[in-house]
Amino acid sequence: MTDTIDLDGLQRLLWNFAGQRVVTVAGRTGILHALANRAATPDEVASELDLDPLATAKIIRALCAQNLVAADGETYRLAAPLRPFFTGGTGDYGPFLDHLHSMYERWGENLEPWLRGEAWKTAPRTSEETARFGAAMQAVSARIARRVAETLDLEGVRTMLDVGGGWGQYAKAMCETQPELHATVLDVPQVADAAPESILGTEFEDRLSWIGGDYLETDYGNGFDLVLLANILHQELAPRAAEIIRRAAVALAPGGQVVVVDFAIDDAKNQHVLGALFAVNMRSFGDTYSEPELRGWMEEAGLANVERQDLGPDRWIISGRRR
Ligand SMILES: C[S@@+](CC[C@H](N)C(=O)[O-])C[C@H]1O[C@@H](n2cnc3c(N)ncnc32)[C@H](O)[C@@H]1O
């Protein structure tokens, strides 16, 4: 079975309730990384990472039971399809595992009080937490963004606005696919002020720029060939999500397209595992939106030719064009 795990499979496993703690503990202590480059016994891993041998052996066996790690006699190695995700660099999943770990810690603390109608305890992100969240999003998004760029028809697309585009992970992937493209990324000032430094001296320096502001208040400008809404509608309630789509449609040139990239879910919102779990994670401030909801908002915004393209089992692109 291990050779069938890909990015979608990995994400499903990471979101699995039963396995979550084990995987994140492993991520934090580097077990997955330790087994990415070579096979090792649990004792060797424990000694390398200065961990308790019994606990390490149990965790590695539990990882094996979930197909994340493969056994060969006494030694274990990360399943082959997962190795590229744990070898360091910007696409490494370590920051994403840290993000999931703190997310599940907050679930442990807040889920029951939330169910009783009490407020979810949150504090504004510190700048260090913002940077960590940005690294987690970049790790997840870099690969998916490439898939999105390959799936979309970007011919003739010269200008795009990436609303809530973070550190420009999607904008970069689109610029790599479409050499004539220039992208504007709109994000909160904390991100928009810090992100440009990350592209200094790179091929993107003259092709990406940032605007800092709230996406429900800031002027989007106009005349864009493409306005991207990647993973932002889910963090808003329905009226605000619909308003973001309306604003995006207004910012288009005639013939331009609004492109939504987000988690998929079935129409009744009770069958799709990741979509339904993600809706819990968006607790009372957001949701996983169904295709009819997204289509409806696009059509209300005057967009035509609304179409859906699946990006594996858990994500989709839903796009519509300005007439
Ligand atoms: C889940 S991340 C998605 C980032 C990127 N689009 C992607 O798919 O990788 C959500 C982004 O929305 C930004 N954001 C949240 N609230 C915002 C607001 N009110 N105005 C502008 N950006 C906002 C966050 O800073 C973050 O970069």
Looking up residue 172, the CATH number of its domain turns out to be 3.40.50.150
CATH code (residue 43): 1.10.10.10
- The chain-wide mean pLDDT, for the chain, equals 88
Q: 214 CB under 6 A from ligand 1?
A: yes
Q: 141 CB under 6 A from ligand 1?
A: yes
Is there a single domain that holds both residue 72 and residue 176?
Answer: no
Question: Residue 101 Cα, ligand 1 centroid: separation in angstroms?
Answer: 20
Question: Residue 130 Cα, ligand 1 centroid: separation in angstroms?
Answer: 11
Domains in the chain, number: 2
Question: Residue 109 Cα, ligand 1 centroid: separation in angstroms?
Answer: 25
Is there a single domain that holds both residue 235 and residue 168?
Answer: yes
Q: What is the residue range of 12's domain?
A: 2-90
Residue 101's CB is within 10 A of a number of other CB atoms, namely: 17
Q: 138 CB under 6 A from ligand 1?
A: no
Is there a single domain that holds both residue 310 and residue 184?
Answer: yes
* Residue 318 backbone dihedrals phi, psi, to 5 degrees: -125, 120
Most confident range (mean pLDDT) of 75-89, 133-147, 280-294 is: 280-294
**Nearest Cα to Cα of residue 135 among 83, 174, 98, 176:** 98
Confidence category of residue 24, pLDDT binned at 50, 70, 90: very low
Question: Residue 21 Cα, ligand 1 centroid: separation in angstroms?
Answer: 27
Is residue 65 one of the residues assigned to a domain?
yes
Q: 166 CB under 6 A from ligand 1?
A: yes
Per-residue model confidence (pLDDT) at position 116 = 93
d(CA 153, CA 256): 12
Last residue of a domain, one of 90, 107, 131: 90
* Residue 53 backbone dihedrals phi, psi, to 5 degrees: -60, -40
Is there a single domain that holds both residue 207 and residue 295?
Answer: yes
Q: What is the mean pLDDT of residues 160-164?
A: 98
**Nearest Cα to Cα of residue 289 among 309, 262, 258, 308:** 262
Q: What is the mean pLDDT of residues 114-141?
A: 81
Q: 230 CB under 6 A from ligand 1?
A: yes
Q: What is the pTM assigned to this prediction?
A: 0.86
Question: Residue 239 Cα, ligand 1 centroid: separation in angstroms?
Answer: 17
Residue 280's CB is within 10 A of a number of other CB atoms, namely: 12
Tell me how many degrees the CA angle 136-138-139 measures, rounded to the nearest 5.
Answer: 65
Residue 194's CB is within 10 A of a number of other CB atoms, namely: 17
Q: 232 CB under 6 A from ligand 1?
A: yes
